[in-house]
């Protein structure tokens, strides 16, 4: 048996995942089983508080601006409703403050003429993306469990998406492959996996082609950190899952061969991307019910894959020897290492602390 | 304080962001000794504290052959588990005040006292010309987005208190924590008004009647409460440890800053001099100064590369990118060219993998640069010059002692003679944590745990580079050494750092002659020279050597760098070679 960062590739396992929603009314109970698209409950979204600058808009002193309010603390206000109104001498200087938001007036700041409004909550139906079993429910979300395979990411953002997986190996083939993607076809939203690192240009390309109403997720080995931050802070980010780390297209390594093999094995199958939240950096779940190729899994099984970090980037290889005696790194540290055959054919002793995918004891028995 | 009775074994645990370290202490004859030391590197971030502790205890069992996790195998020798750490990260703090200047000063006063980070700050009145001023709307947005662990309020009138109360009442329903402490210091009538205005989810805590910025305000009292708040947060984070308490193993928890501070205090009393302890962790850098005369440390500062370089993925949200100043500051310490983007990607990847170690020289040099830069932000807070400079954490674990020494000197830039000590085993925080529980355990252990790198003399003032600024004449006094060695004279050139061979434990007479424009500031002889508590009766010209010898830093203060990157990089390579941080034949690997 070989473990790939919790993804057991020779047989499916119970994968537990969470939907943390910061406000949730459940329609299901612990122990219940749900099918894909079954309703789970209502997500309660509380928009941030808003400070309405009455004094500034009405061009009055803070006290005068608050006196001009037709409502007080605790009252409700509708979007577009007149919150305050002033009239100057002889009809000049007549001004209105139209509320940009509906909500409750929860505070007044007399010194500054501000009214603080808590916008009404929004209620959004939440349904199951995969056939799962409910294992925990509270006011902030729901934990589910499903039979499947799991690939852990190192970072990710965006919203949870389930859809069909498309694998793209070569950028040159990208335009052709993208033309075959259509949001109108069954199977959208899509999950698009790249073998090579991407950058901001690729994300922009997808964003230009597909509107935000047609969400998609990109599963990529790496992206420059600046691009990651820039897109994560946008209002409608494309969901992004990073499997290896941060780096430029030219200098970063490709996706771990074992992960890529796994993804290719489930090409055109249904999967689910869960971006990072409190418990982890995000993951991709492939339900076990699907009839995906077992050949690729066996191919991975014969290897003992490792991902390791060093030389300022992520590398991949296979373990030849689990733990050699202590060895000296080029930086001068004397550490316990594993002997690893790198993808480029070199053999190197890698510190155990830098190995991210540790082979299991059973796997090592077969190696040694 | 929990009393330890009898020979109760102690397991002291330091829950770090990258590595968890455990030490088993047992009473052997009349005093406690470190029996076994073990490190655990959690493979997964989400591994809980109890699992890590159990893995660590099992590691200690393998090493010692004792079954520590089974109570029945230890009749009458119940384990005491003392935990410390910085794994809770800096405490997100909201600063509220009447004016932007006041809020900025308040943050400047309090941030060095404990591991805090600014989650938001707000002054009354929108002052767009002042960048530190934020509108109520902006602050409310920040409150909504981020977890708040502590609020610090400044108000000098009922009206200001009323405004703070209105903002907090409005924001109250979206607090994520159960009960948030609000600290206030000021007059009675304002305190009464403020406490009456607060929503029930906020716990009002008053420090005194003097305003925050009043000269009579006692920062030590504020520091106690800040650290207490941080300890409570850490205890919540480590709540898995309660499992061990229910099994009859008593436990105590305190944060790394408190532990470092306590260890520094113990050391300063032991050595009889001002001690600075510099602990560089994966998330937090702590610099603590302690003087034997005062009851408590003067100042204790925490900041971290975490604040500047972290926040990738799920941990804090991807909102922080290292700014240009930080990158420029880091590059100043690197003897090779590196693009901004490459450096940023490296730092982001490093944050994803805190448990990894630098495998190449370039990576190690970046780590050393990060350590120097993270200390630079807090170094200005201190006016006292330490006579003993102690390095702990990752900077004490660099492969070569010269790398540790150079990083410590560059980070602190001492302006008086001092002695460099190294906590190679990162045991200081754990000993400090034990000392907070029972101060009878640690005497002697602290000093023994440190490697004496040797005395360090720093040249003050600036002259033309490469001028000979001092002549140091060394006469070896110990008989065994004196037979083999002659008296030597060393010329010290400005802009260099040198190691003068003075073997550890060997006494030498040292005569320093310096030019008119510079000084070593060595008029006061004490611990820095003798390496032991100085009672004022020893000779005033003798120096005890250390592992690296006598370190003479003739680069001037503050350190100045050439505007030419080629020259600057060459100088840094010179310094690294001079202290044995890198060999000449390794330099080509940096290109």
pLDDT tens-place string over residues B228-285: 888 777 777 776 666 666 555 566 777 777 788 888 888 888 888 889 888 887 667 7
Best of A280, A312, A326, A333 to substitute, by most chain B Cβ atoms within 10 angstroms, is A312
- Work out whether strand A305-310 and strand A280-287 pair parallel, antiparallel, or are unpaired: unpaired
B277 Cβ contact list (under 8 Å, min separation 6): B260, B263, B264, B267, B286, B287, B288, B290, B390, B392, B428
Burial of residue B55 (CB within 10 Å: 0-12, 13-18, 19+) is: middle
Mean pLDDT of B130-156: 67
Residue A224 C-alpha from the chain's centroid: 17
Cβ <8 Å between A280 and B321:
no
Best of A4, A22, A49, A152 to substitute, by most chain B Cβ atoms within 10 angstroms, is A49
The minimal CB distance from A107 to the residues B41, B170, B589 is found for B170
Q: pLDDT band at B455, cuts 50/70/90? A: very high
Query: What was the pLDDT predicted at B334?
Result: 93
Candidates A285, A288, A140, A277; CA nearest to A217 is A285
Q: Is the pLDDT of residue B295 over 60?
A: no
The minimal CB distance from A331 to the residues B321, B342, B363 is found for B363
**Chain B residues whose beta carbon lies within 8 Å of the beta carbon of residue A116:** 136, 140, 166-167, 170
B13-31 burial string, b = 16+ CB within 10 Å, else e? bbbbbbbbbbbbbbbeeee
The residue in chain B having the minimum alpha-carbon distance to the alpha carbon of residue A106 is: B170
Query: What was the pLDDT predicted at B313?
Result: 27
Query: What was the pLDDT predicted at B176?
Result: 54
Query: What was the pLDDT predicted at B94?
Result: 83
Best of A48, A277, A307, A328 to substitute, by most chain B Cβ atoms within 10 angstroms, is A48
Q: pLDDT band at B191, cuts 50/70/90? A: very high
Mean pLDDT of B23-36: 84
The minimal CB distance from A353 to the residues B341, B344, B357 is found for B357
The residue in chain A having the minimum alpha-carbon distance to the alpha carbon of residue B172 is: A106
Residue A124 C-alpha from the chain's centroid: 19
The residue in chain A having the minimum alpha-carbon distance to the alpha carbon of residue B339 is: A248
Cβ <8 Å between B399 and A331:
yes
Identify the residue whose tokens are 């089974």.
B70
3-state percent breakdown (helix, strand, coil) of chain A, nearest 5: 20, 45, 35
Q: Are B394 and B367 in contact (CB under 8 A)?
A: yes
Q: Note if the pTM is more than 0.80.
A: yes
Identify the residue whose tokens are 């073990």.
B38
Candidates A296, A285, A271; CA nearest to A191 is A271
Task: Provide the shortest C-alpha distance from residue B251 to chain A (in Å).
Answer: 26
Q: pLDDT band at B481, cuts 50/70/90? A: low
Could you tell me which residue, A243 or B376, shows the higher pLDDT? A243
Say how far apart CA B362 and CA B334 lie, in whole Å.
Answer: 9
Task: Provide the shortest C-alpha distance from residue B440 to chain A (in Å).
Answer: 35
The residue in chain B having the minimum alpha-carbon distance to the alpha carbon of residue A332 is: B399
**Chain A residues whose beta carbon lies within 8 Å of the beta carbon of residue B364:** 331-332
Cβ <8 Å between B345 and A281:
no
The complex scores an ipTM of 0.82
Mean pLDDT of B156-162: 86
Length of chain A: 368
Q: pLDDT band at B311, cuts 50/70/90? A: very low
Task: Provide the shortest C-alpha distance from residue B341 to chain A (in Å).
Answer: 8
Query: What was the pLDDT predicted at B308?
Result: 29
pLDDT tens-place string over residues A344-363: 788 888 888 888 765 544 55
The minimal CB distance from A331 to the residues B135, B140, B364 is found for B364
Q: pLDDT band at B138, cuts 50/70/90? A: low
Cβ <8 Å between B356 and A310:
yes
Q: Are B260 and B392 in contact (CB under 8 A)?
A: yes
Per-residue pLDDT of chain A (368 residues; tens, 9 = 90+): 334 444 445 566 677 787 766 678 889 999 999 988 889 999 887 777 788 888 888 888 888 888 888 888 889 999 999 989 887 666 667 888 899 989 999 888 887 788 888 888 888 888 888 888 999 998 878 888 888 878 888 888 888 888 888 888 877 767 666 666 666 665 566 888 999 999 888 888 888 777 766 778 899 999 999 898 888 877 767 889 998 889 988 887 788 877 887 788 777 778 888 887 655 678 888 877 655 455 554 444 445 567 787 888 888 888 777 676 788 888 898 888 888 888 778 888 888 888 876 554 455 455 44
Q: Are A307 and A319 in contact (CB under 8 A)?
A: no
Task: Provide the shortest C-alpha distance from residue B469 to chain A (in Å).
Answer: 34
Task: Provide the shortest C-alpha distance from residue B259 to chain A (in Å).
Answer: 26
Q: pLDDT band at B301, cuts 50/70/90? A: very low
> DSSP letter at A237?
P
């Amino acid at each position: 048996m070989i473990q790939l960062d919790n993804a057991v590739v020779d047989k499916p396992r119970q994968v537990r995942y969470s939907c943390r929603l910061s406000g949730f009314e459940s329609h299901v109970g612990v122990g219940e089983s749900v099918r894909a698209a079954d309703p789970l409950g209502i997500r309660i979204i509380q928009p941030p508080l808003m400070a309405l600058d009455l004094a500034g808009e009405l061009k009055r002193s803070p006290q005068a601006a608050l006196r001009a309010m037709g409502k007080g603390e605790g009252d409700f206000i509708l979007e577009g409703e007149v919150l305050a109104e002033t009239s100057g001498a002889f009809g000049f200087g007549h001004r209105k403050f139209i509320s940009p938001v509906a909500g409750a007036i929860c505070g007044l700041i007399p010194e500054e003429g501000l009214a603080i409004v808590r916008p009404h909550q929004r209620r959004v139906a939440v349904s199951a993306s995969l056939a799962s079993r409910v294992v925990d429910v509270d006011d902030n979300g729901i934990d589910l469990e499903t039979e499947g395979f799991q690939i852990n990411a190192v970072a990710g953002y965006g919203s949870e998406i389930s859809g069909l997986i498309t694998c793209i190996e070569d950028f040159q083939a990208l335009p052709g492959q993208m033309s075959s993607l259509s949001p109108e076809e069954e199977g959208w939203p899509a999950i698009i996996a790249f073998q090579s690192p991407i950058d901001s240009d690729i994300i922009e390309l997808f964003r230009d082609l597909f509107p935000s109403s047609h969400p998609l997720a990109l599963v990529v080995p790496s992206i420059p950190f600046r691009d990651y931050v820039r897109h994560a802070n946008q209002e409608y980010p494309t969901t992004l899952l990073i499997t290896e780390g941060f780096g430029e297209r030219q200098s970063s390594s490709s996706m771990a061969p074992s992960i890529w093999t796994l993804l290719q094995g489930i090409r055109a199958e249904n999967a689910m991307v869960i971006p990072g939240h409190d418990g982890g950096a995000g993951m991709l779940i492939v339900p076990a019910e699907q009839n995906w190729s077992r050949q690729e899994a066996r191919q991975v099984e014969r290897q003992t894959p490792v991902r390791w970090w060093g030389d300022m980037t992520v590398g991949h290889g296979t373990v030849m020897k689990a733990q050699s005696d202590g060895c000296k790194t080029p930086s001068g540290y004397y550490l316990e290492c594993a002997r690893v055959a790198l993808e480029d054919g070199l053999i190197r002793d890698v510190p155990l602390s830098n190995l991210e995918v540790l082979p299991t004891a059973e796997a090592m028995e077969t190696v040694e | 304080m929990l009393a330890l009775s009898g020979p109760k074994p102690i397991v002291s645990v330091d829950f770090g962001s990258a590595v968890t370290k455990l030490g088993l202490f047992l009473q052997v004859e009349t005093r406690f000794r470190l029996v076994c030391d073990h490190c655990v590197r959690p493979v997964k971030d989400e591994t809980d504290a109890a699992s890590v502790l159990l893995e660590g205890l099992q590691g200690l069992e393998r090493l010692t052959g004792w079954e520590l996790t089974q109570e029945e195998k230890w009749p009458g020798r119940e384990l005491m588990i003392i935990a410390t750490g910085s794994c809770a990260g800096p405490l997100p703090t909201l600063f509220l005040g009447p004016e932007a200047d006041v809020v900025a000063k308040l943050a400047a006063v309090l941030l060095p006292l404990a591991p805090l980070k600014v989650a938001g700050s707000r002054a009354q009145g929108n002052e767009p010309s002042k960048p530190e001023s934020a509108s109520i709307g902006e602050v409310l947005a920040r409150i909504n987005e981020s977890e708040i662990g502590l609020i610090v309020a400044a108000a000098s009138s009922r009206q200001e208190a009323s405004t703070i109360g209105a903002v907090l009442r409005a924001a109250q329903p979206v607090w994520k924590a159960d009960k948030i402490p609000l600290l206030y210091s000021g007059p009675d009538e304002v305190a009464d008004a403020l406490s009456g205005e607060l929503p029930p989810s906020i716990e009002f805590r008053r420090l005194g009647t003097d305003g925050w910025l009043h000269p009579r305000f006692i920062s030590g009292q504020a520091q106690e409460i800040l650290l207490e708040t941080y300890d409570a947060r850490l205890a919540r984070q480590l709540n898995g440890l309660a499992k061990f308490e229910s099994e009859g193993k008593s436990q105590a928890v305190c944060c790394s800053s408190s532990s470092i501070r306590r260890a520094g205090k113990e050391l300063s009393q032991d050595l009889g001099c001002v001690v600075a302890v510099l602990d560089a962790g994966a998330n937090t850098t702590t610099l603590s100064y302690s003087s034997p005369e005062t009851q408590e440390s003067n100042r204790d500062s925490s900041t971290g590369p975490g604040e500047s370089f972290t926040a990738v993925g799920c941990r804090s949200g991807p909102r922080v990118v290292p700014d240009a100043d930080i990158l420029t500051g880091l590059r100043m310490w690197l003897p090779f060219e590196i693009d901004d983007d490459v450096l940023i990607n490296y730092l982001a990847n490093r944050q994803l993998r805190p448990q990894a170690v630098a495998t190449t020289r370039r990576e190690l040099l970046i780590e050393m640069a990060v350590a120097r830069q993270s200390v630079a932000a807090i170094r200005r807070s201190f006016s006292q010059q330490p006579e003993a400079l102690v390095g702990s954490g990752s900077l004490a674990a660099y492969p070569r002692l010269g790398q540790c020494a150079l990083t410590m000197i560059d980070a602190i830039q001492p302006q008086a003679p001092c002695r460099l000590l190294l906590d190679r085993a990162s045991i200081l925080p754990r000993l400090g944590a034990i000392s907070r529980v029972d101060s009878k355990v640690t005497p002697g252990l602290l000093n023994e745990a440190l490697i004496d790198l040797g005395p360090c003399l720093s040249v003050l003032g600036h002259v033309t580079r490469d001028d000979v600024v001092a002549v140091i004449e060394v006469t070896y006094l110990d008989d065994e050494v004196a037979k083999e060695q002659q008296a030597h004279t060393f010329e010290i050139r400005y802009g260099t750092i040198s190691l003068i061979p003075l073997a550890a434990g060997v006494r030498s007479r040292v005569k320093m002659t310096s030019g008119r424009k510079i000084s070593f500031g060595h008029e006061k002889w004490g611990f820095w020279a003798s390496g032991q508590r100085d009672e004022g009766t020893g000779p005033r010209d003798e120096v005890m050597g250390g592992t690296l010898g006598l370190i003479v830093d003739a680069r001037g203060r503050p350190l100045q760098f050439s505007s030419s990157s080629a020259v600057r990089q060459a100088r840094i390579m010179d310094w690294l070679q001079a202290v044995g941080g890198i060999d000449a034949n390794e330099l080509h690997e940096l290109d």
